Amino acid sequence: MPAQRPGNTLAAGHSGVTGETVSALPTVEVPDRPAPARPEEPREVHVGEPLPKRRRYGGETYFKSLTTVGGSAVLAIIAAIALFLIIEAVPALSANKENFFTFTKWSPNALNDAHFGIASLAFGTILSAAIALLVAVPIALGIALYLSHYAHRRVATILGFAIDLLAAVPSVVFGLWGREFFAVPVQDLSIWLNKYLGWFPLFASDGRFGHSVLLGSLVLAIMILPIVTSLSREVFMQTPREHEEAAMALGATKWEVIRTAVLPYGRPGIVASVMLGLGRALGETIALAMTLGSSFVISWSVVEPGGNTIAANIANAFGEANDQGRSALIASGLVLFAITLIVNMTARAIVRRRKRFLAAATT
Amino acid sequence: MAKRIEADNVTAYYGSFKAIEGVNMVIERKSVTALIGPSGCGKSTFLRSINRMHEVIPNGRVEGTISVDGQNIYDKDVDVTAVRRMIGMVFQRPNPFPTMSIFDNVVAGLKLVGVRRKGELQVAAEKALRGANLWEEVKDRLDKPGAGLSGGQQQRLCIARAIAVEPQVVLMDEPCSALDPISTLAIEDLIGELKDSYTIVIVTHNMQQAARVSDRTAFFSLEKTGDPGRLVEYDETQKIFTNPGEKRTEDYITGRFG
């Protein structure tokens, strides 16, 4: 028999049983509990008495409104940001003499003669984020699998801690390191890539190497590595033991267990972690402002000096921008906002489709 | 097909805890052997030792030898995956791969050994599903998720998956404990059919089930909590349930302890 505490009439009140049945439950007084807060309200059900009334303004109601307010605040903030971006962007956009979406240069400051467009910045943003993902995701998944399935527990703990530390390094430090130190080996790598794979557009160069998209992307890759690693590691560790054992009992090797049980189970989580990394890569500002060459051309070459992103350009150009220039930068921010929104929604759609397959499986 | 298993002085540990001690047992080919006993007596541990699945548990290890047709599966040079392919296993809870279709579940083991040809896989899948008495129920929806089947069907799917790689031995760890009585009956019938081709070892908590499906029964028990489990008696099922040689066996099967 469950001991009914004073104040806990919920079970009795909601079970819909008659008063007699309820009173058959023993009412055990728990001494260390304070007496009911409002003694005028009936706390216990006695034979023949009506069931206690539902309380209209209990803690339940307050807590519910508190969470509702919290939830709607998120929506309100997002709407406010979008509204701010749109309103602030309109003056520059209407003064712009060029097509904002196709023009590649950025000179928005001259009154009555503003020429700016998002094309090269958006291209650079997506290119550098894509390369960063291409480099970081396989490595991150490899580390995550090593940590979750291969490494000795103590090694895994230490290494996991180190990875989390990597996530804690401020991006300006990454930028400095990338600019002053990492640039040298990346330049050597660029020369090597150009020498042997120069026929491939990404590695073409007119002989100059330096603060290139490759440098920025590799720094970005290091920055998103910890996010993708720790999230996918969590997902891999949640693989149900029974699925792994099912694969093992069929004679699967470790890698085959990972392929048949761990990766399929973790796929939605992997997608989510990659998308989070992508979000970080798209929005990363200062590290890229410091490592990229800040050019305004659409070029597929990642080894030549150059490259720029929306966020890096905002950081670089904000200081010398006048009101109109700022308005133009805000317009570029609006585009970045839209890109990240699309990325996030795509990620959610992918995860949801997967969920629907699993949900269909269990009904 | 179907091989004879000899366990010689098998002792299994979880870390420093000794779960079973000194089990000696000969399991005949093409027979059903039931392992019964109270919770914690080590019957599942022993079962998992037979296909080297005990050692996948952290700190799990086994001493002694288990031979299949004279070959010690615990020999240092033996490929563990080959052992597990030869000795299939069905688990307590049905565990089809959740992201795979019914068809992919059945042929998962075959794909692991490198069978890729569609036609070959289809023939094998139908054979295994027929063998598991599931073909008629799923033949029109082989591309649907395996997890969409009922619990009993899922368990038969797991049996199909286990027999698709044509093992010599099939181990079953309380295969019916998560199933309703009708599904249980279907599995029990299936066990009766499977023993024509395979050596079957089944752990069960249900003594009627042991009596119904098995040819021989092994009773495991332990003195008290913390002690290792031991094989108390191993004999013809008929004899265990009508005229057991040990007092403790009799106490257990008549429900006086455990």
Q: Return the DSSP state at B54.
A: G
Total domains in chain B come to 1
Lowest-pLDDT range of A318-332, A348-362, B104-118, B135-149: A348-362
Residue B108 belongs to a domain: no
Average pLDDT over residues A198-226: 90
pLDDT in tens, A17-64: 444 444 444 444 444 555 555 555 555 667 778 888 877 777 888 899
Q: Which residues in chain A have their CB less than 8 angstroms from residue B81's CB?
A: 251-253
ipTM for the predicted complex:
0.90
What pLDDT digit, counting tens, does each position of A97-150 carry?
999 999 999 999 888 889 999 999 999 999 999 999 999 999 999 999 999 999
pLDDT confidence of residue A345:
87
Measured from the Cβ of residue A106, the count of other Cβ atoms closer than 10 Å reads 23
Residue B148 located in a structural domain: no
* Side chain identity at residue A243, one-letter code: H
Phi and psi of A138, rounded to 5°?
A: -60, -40
Dihedral (C-alpha) B149, A247, B122, B158: value to the nearest 10 degrees? -40
Q: What integer pLDDT is reported at residue B79 of this predicted model?
A: 93
- Residue B66, domain member (yes or no): yes
- pLDDT score of A348: 81
CB-CB contact of B173 with B44 (8 Å): yes
* Cβ–Cβ gap B147/A362 under 8 Å: yes
What is the helix (H) or strand (E) element at residue B87, kind and residue range? strand B87-90
Name the strand (E) or helix (H) holding A15. Answer: helix A10-15
Q: Which residues of A touch B112 (CB under 8 A)?
A: 250-252, 256, 260
B107 within a domain of the structure (yes/no): no
Is residue B212 a part of any domain in this protein? yes
CA distance A277 to A223: 9
> Is B90 domain-assigned?
yes
Q: Smallest Cβ distance to B84: which of A240, A251, A357? A: A251
Residue B26 lies in a domain: yes
| Distance from the B136 Cα atom to the nearest Cα atom in chain A, whole angstroms | 20
Q: Is B84 close to A248, i.e. CB distance below 8 A? A: yes
pLDDT at A10 (0 to 100): 40
Q: What is the DSSP letter of A198?
A: T
Taking Cα atoms as reference points, which of B41, B45, B25 lies closest to residue B33? B25
pLDDT band at A357 (very low <50, low <70, confident <90, very high): low
Burial (0-12, 13-18, 19+ Cβ within 10 Å), A91:
middle
pLDDT of residue A273 exceeding 80:
yes
Nearest to B82 among A242, A243, A251 (CB): A251
B178 interface with A at CB cutoff 8 Å: no
Write out the residue range of the structural domain in which residue B240 sits: 5-96+168-253
Closest residue to B97, CB basis, from A260, A360, A362: A260
Q: What is the pLDDT of residue A30?
A: 47
CATH number of the domain residue B213 falls in: 3.40.50.300
More confident of the two residues A114 and A13: A114
pLDDT at A23: 42
- pLDDT score for A360: 55
d(CA A352, CA A340): 18
Q: Check CB contact of B206 with chain A, cutoff 8 Å.
A: no
pLDDT at A204: 85
Q: Which of A103, A96, A105 is nearest to A294 (CA)?
A: A105
Q: Do A360 and B148 touch (CB under 8 A)?
A: yes
Q: Which of A258, A248, A256 is nearest to B83 (CA)?
A: A248
Residue A361 has its nearest CB partner, among B53, B88, B145, at B145
Q: Which domains does chain A have, with CATH numbers?
A: 1-55 (no CATH), 115-362 (1.10.3720.10)
pLDDT tens digits, B154-198: 999 999 999 999 999 999 999 998 888 888 998 999 999 899 999
A100: phi then psi, degrees, rounded to nearest 5: -60, -35
User: B95 at the A interface (CB within 8 A)?
Assistant: yes
Distance CA A150, CA A154 (A): 12
Distance from CA of B164 to the nearest CA of A (A): 10
Contact with chain A for residue B60, Cβ under 8 A: no
pLDDT of residue A358: 59
In a domain, B80, yes or no: yes
